[in-house]
């Protein structure tokens, strides 16, 4: 990763090298962006995948109000006042999202939720939250993507489709990338894909294992038994759709590789078994370390969802689903996670930062969001912004706003913005709300103290 | 639902919502424009199942889970790509209507492998 360089020509064209694409968890930081500064458009995005190209080339600052209150245009100050009043008066507010913004904004969001005694959750809870729970129980044998690129000679993708969700994963890190000990790229690696259907990721695999729907846990547990030299009944094929011979062949490959990696997707964490599936694959990697070096790591979708886990963890001790009602952080998935709090009707207000649960949460949760005052920060008009009491238009992280984001392997990457924006960053809006809520709470405390004194005097 | 629509037999299948490139590109453009809407309202069905149910590409089908109902259009996938009895659709507002609410104390509602009844609409 070199330093960003900028060069302007007479046509007012700027080139930004080593820019970072924030669409997915790969956080590719080798973008070369050509920017027409007069038109305020990115005209070329060299090295970008299809999703990165769409991110950069379709970027256009929409001419929207700085804020909407009940759908009506408002100033930023009015929006901040309304949002602060909502949060200062809420008894059990839910702060959700954070996967598409900077760590700096995430950090301010944690400070705000701490001050108001609310609950904070990120999109992790409906992504690899179960994996977060699993690794607390069984540990994690892990590595950076750079180490994997340089060393892995057996790469297993399980329950994920990076060809469509992380398009450069193969070329940059794990399949066709040239590594220190894998100089011949794919020829030096064996690629295995395990999935319930033949996705667009399957063609790059040397071996495709089609597991029956809902049988991932059983297959992983049978593989663990075989790794440990236990007997496995051949009837396992009826349950899993995978023959014992295929399993034994995979186990031999895993035990005899030089460096193995299990990349797993939401085909494990979002389905029956959830954290048990994630725990099974993490445990399989641990078991294999008796024979060789083996790691297991989740594939993360959103650009800075890993950053949300990391920031919330270093500020509260827990990665997601954290409540501050008692003045200290409590972690309890199922109780303090967004879907649960909205579905049960517990949350009496919501702040959604850089996320759109209004388009992807279960309908019962969306129905509750419609009933309570919601605050939304997003560069675009979203389904959630449409149902919000206050919707702020913010600048786009990575394009307009600099800062830090974490790649899916936990490596922090610096963002290199290429265009200015008239809209404030998420961090600036959260800071402004924080400041105003702090004033409101102090005034309230003072008033309460005066009233108590009057009562005592009377 | 009118009486004409209910004359088709409903069949129980397993729905897998997931991410696709078209959906990803569409949401970057706008979630309120055609590309995203098309990507999230098209369900993939095994071609043998389609033939048995008298469905053609573009036919509308109603998907009903224990939690809700939505109507989408269908497109065929070969048996080696998508097993019989299995459906695939990109995440989006229609899948929200079908997802469960119980997270099993994990925060994650079951979002894949949803049991749905599929019924032809037209």
Q: For residues A37 and A363, is the Cβ–Cβ distance under 8 A? A: no
CATH assignment at residue A442: 3.40.50.740
**Is A51 a domain residue?**
yes
pLDDT in tens, A16-39: 999 999 999 999 999 999 999 999
**Is A62 a domain residue?**
no
Q: For residues A413 and A26, is the Cβ–Cβ distance under 8 A? A: no
Q: Test A126 with B100 for CB contact under 8 angstroms.
A: no
Phi then psi for residue A75, to 5 deg, are -80, 170
In sequence order, the 6+-apart residues with CB closer than 8 A to the CB of B26 are: B33, B35, B36, B37, B38, B39, B40
User: Looking at CA atoms only, how far is residue A77 from chain B in angstroms?
Assistant: 27
Domain count, chain A: 3
The answer to whether A269 contacts chain B (CB < 8 Å) is yes
Domain limits for position B42 = 5-120
**Is A458 a domain residue?**
no
What the block records as the tokens of A86 is 């909502």
Q: Which residue of B has its CA nearest to A166?
A: B21
Distance (Å, rounded) from C-alpha A182 to C-alpha A63?
A: 49
Q: Which residue of A has its CA nearest to B13?
A: A213
pTM: 0.93
Q: Which residue of A has its CA nearest to B93?
A: A359
Strand pairing class (A93-97; A390-393): unpaired
Q: Which of A23, A201, A298, A339 to mutate to test the interface with B (most CBs of B within 10 A)?
A: A339
The answer to whether A382 contacts chain B (CB < 8 Å) is yes
Nearest to B113 among A271, A301, A362 (CB): A271
The answer to whether A298 contacts chain B (CB < 8 Å) is no
pLDDT in tens, A103-137: 999 999 999 999 999 999 999 999 999 999 999 99
Phi then psi for residue B84, to 5 deg, are -65, 145
Domain limits for position A255 = 129-298
Mean pLDDT of chain A: 95
Distances (CA, A) of A442 to A15, A109, A112, A325, B96: 48, 19, 14, 18, 41
Cβ-based contacts of A196 with chain B (< 8 Å): 16, 83, 86
Distance (Å, rounded) from C-alpha A164 to C-alpha A241?
A: 25
pLDDT in tens, B2-30: 444 455 678 999 999 999 999 999 999 89
* Residue A337: per-residue pLDDT: 98
The answer to whether A303 contacts chain B (CB < 8 Å) is no
* Residue B4: per-residue pLDDT: 43
In sequence order, the 6+-apart residues with CB closer than 8 A to the CB of B96 are: A359, A360, A361, A362, A363, A366
CA angle at residue B64 from B9 to A126, to 5 degrees? 150
Q: Test B106 with A129 for CB contact under 8 angstroms.
A: yes
- Same domain as A149, residue A89: no
* Residue B6: per-residue pLDDT: 52
Helix locations, A317-425, DSSP H: 338-343, 357-360, 363-371, 383-386
* Residue B1: per-residue pLDDT: 42
- Same domain as A140, residue A184: yes
* Residue A70: per-residue pLDDT: 97
Domain boundary residue, one of A235, A270, A298: A298
**Residues 403-432 in A contacting B (C-alpha not used; CB under 8 Å):** none
Distance (Å, rounded) from C-alpha B66 to C-alpha B117?
A: 9
Per-residue pLDDT of chain A (458 residues; tens, 9 = 90+): 444 445 555 579 999 999 999 999 999 999 999 999 999 999 999 999 999 999 999 999 889 999 999 999 999 999 999 999 999 999 999 999 999 999 999 999 999 999 999 999 999 999 999 999 999 999 999 999 999 999 999 999 999 999 999 999 999 999 999 999 999 999 999 999 999 999 999 999 999 999 999 999 999 999 999 999 999 999 999 999 999 999 999 999 999 999 999 999 999 999 989 999 999 999 999 999 999 999 999 999 999 999 999 999 999 999 999 999 999 999 999 999 999 999 999 999 999 999 999 999 999 999 999 999 999 999 999 999 999 999 999 999 999 999 999 999 999 999 999 999 999 999 999 999 999 999 999 998 888 777 777 777 77
Q: Test B82 with A198 for CB contact under 8 angstroms.
A: yes
Residue with tokens 């998907």: B63
Distance (Å, rounded) from C-alpha B101 to C-alpha B67?
A: 8
What DSSP string runs through A429-450? HHHHHHHHHHHHHHHHHHHHHH
Q: For residues A254 and A154, is the Cβ–Cβ distance under 8 A? A: yes
* Residue A62: per-residue pLDDT: 82
Over 50: is that where the pLDDT of B62 sits?
A: yes
User: Looking at CA atoms only, how far is residue A166 from chain B in angstroms?
Assistant: 9
Banded model confidence at residue B43, pLDDT cuts 50, 70, 90: very high
CATH assignment at residue B104: 2.40.40.20
A32 closest CA partner among A18, A43, A21, A22: A18
Domain boundary residue, one of A254, A276, A298: A298
- Tell me which residues of chain B have a C-beta less than 8 Å from any C-beta of chain A: 14, 16, 18-21, 24-25, 28-32, 67-68, 80-83, 86, 88, 91-93, 95-97, 99-101, 103-113
CA A109 distance to own-chain centroid = 16
- Same domain as A441, residue A370: yes
Domain boundary residue, one of A21, A36, A57: A57
Q: In what order do the strands lie in the sheet with A67-69?
A: A72-74, A67-69, A390-393, A374-378, A349-353, A93-97, A119-122, A322-323, A330-331
- Same domain as A260, residue A135: yes
Q: Is A18 helix (H, G, I), strand (E, B) or coil?
A: strand
ipTM surpasses cut 0.95: no
């Amino acid at each position: 990763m070199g330093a960003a360089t900028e060069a302007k020509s007479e046509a007012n064209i700027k080139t930004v090298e080593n820019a970072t694409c924030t669409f997915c968890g790969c956080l590719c930081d080798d973008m070369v962006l050509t920017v027409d500064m007069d038109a305020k458009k990115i005209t070329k995005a060299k090295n970008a995948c299809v999703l990165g190209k769409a991110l950069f080339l379709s970027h256009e600052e929409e001419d929207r109000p700085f804020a909407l209150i009940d759908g009506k245009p408002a100033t930023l100050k009015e929006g901040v006042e309304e949002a602060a009043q909502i949060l200062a008066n809420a008894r059990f507010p839910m702060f959700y999202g954070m996967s598409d913004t900077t760590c700096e904004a995430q950090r301010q969001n944690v400070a705000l939720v701490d001050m108001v005694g609310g609950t904070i959750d990120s999109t992790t809870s409906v992504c690899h939250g179960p994996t977060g729970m699993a690794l607390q129980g069984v540990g994690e044998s892990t590595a950076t993507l750079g180490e994997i690129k340089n060393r892995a000679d057996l790469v297993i993708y399980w329950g994920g489709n990076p060809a469509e969700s992380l398009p450069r994963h193969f070329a940059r890190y794990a399949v066709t990338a040239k590594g220190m000990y894998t100089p011949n790229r794919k020829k030096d690696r064996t690629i295995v894909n395990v999935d319930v259907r033949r996705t667009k990721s399957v063609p790059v695999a040397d071996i495709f294992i089609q597991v029956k729907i809902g049988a991932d846990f059983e297959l992983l547990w049978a593989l663990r038994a075989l790794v440990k030299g236990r007997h496995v009944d051949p009837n396992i094929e009826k349950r899993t759709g995978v023959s014992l011979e295929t399993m034994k062949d995979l186990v031999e490959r895993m035990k005899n590789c030089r460096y193995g990696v299990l990349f797993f997707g939401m085909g494990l964490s979002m389905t029956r078994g959830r954290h048990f599936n994630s725990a099974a694959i993490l445990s399989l990697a641990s078991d294999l370390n008796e024979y060789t070096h083996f790691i297991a790591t989740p594939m993360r979708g959103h650009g800075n969802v890993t950053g949300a886990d990391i920031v919330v963890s270093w500020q509260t001790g827990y990665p997601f689903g954290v409540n501050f009602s008692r003045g200290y952080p409590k972690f309890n998935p199922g109780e303090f996670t967004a879907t649960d709090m909205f579905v049960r009707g517990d949350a009496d207000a919501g702040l959604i930062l850089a996320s759109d649960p209004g388009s992807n949460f279960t309908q019962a949760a969306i129905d509750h969001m419609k009933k309570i005052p919601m605050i939304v920060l997003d560069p675009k008009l979203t389904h959630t912004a449409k149902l919000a009491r206050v919707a702020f238009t913010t600048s786009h992280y990575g394009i307009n706003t600099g800062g830090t984001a974490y790649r899916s392997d936990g490596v922090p990457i610096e963002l290199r913005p290429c265009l200015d924006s008239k809209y404030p960053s998420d961090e600036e809006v959260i800071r402004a709300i924080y400041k105003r809520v702090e004033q409101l709470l102090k005034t309230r405390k003072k008033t309460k103290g005066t009233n108590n004194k009057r009562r005592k005097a009377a | 639902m009118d009486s004409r629509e209910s004359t088709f037999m409903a069949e129980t299948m397993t729905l897998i919502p997931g991410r696709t490139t078209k959906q990803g590109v569409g949401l970057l453009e706008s979630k309120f424009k055609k590309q995203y809407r098309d990507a999230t309202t098209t369900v993939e069905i095994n071609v043998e199942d389609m033939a048995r149910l008298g469905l053609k590409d573009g036919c509308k089908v109603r998907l009903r889970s224990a939690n809700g109902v939505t109507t989408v259009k269908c497109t065929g996938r070969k048996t080696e790509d998508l097993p019989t009895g299995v459906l695939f659709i990109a995440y989006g507002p229609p899948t929200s209507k079908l997802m469960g609410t119980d997270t099993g104390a994990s925060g994650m509602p079951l979002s894949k492998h949803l049991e749905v009844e599929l019924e032809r609409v037209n």
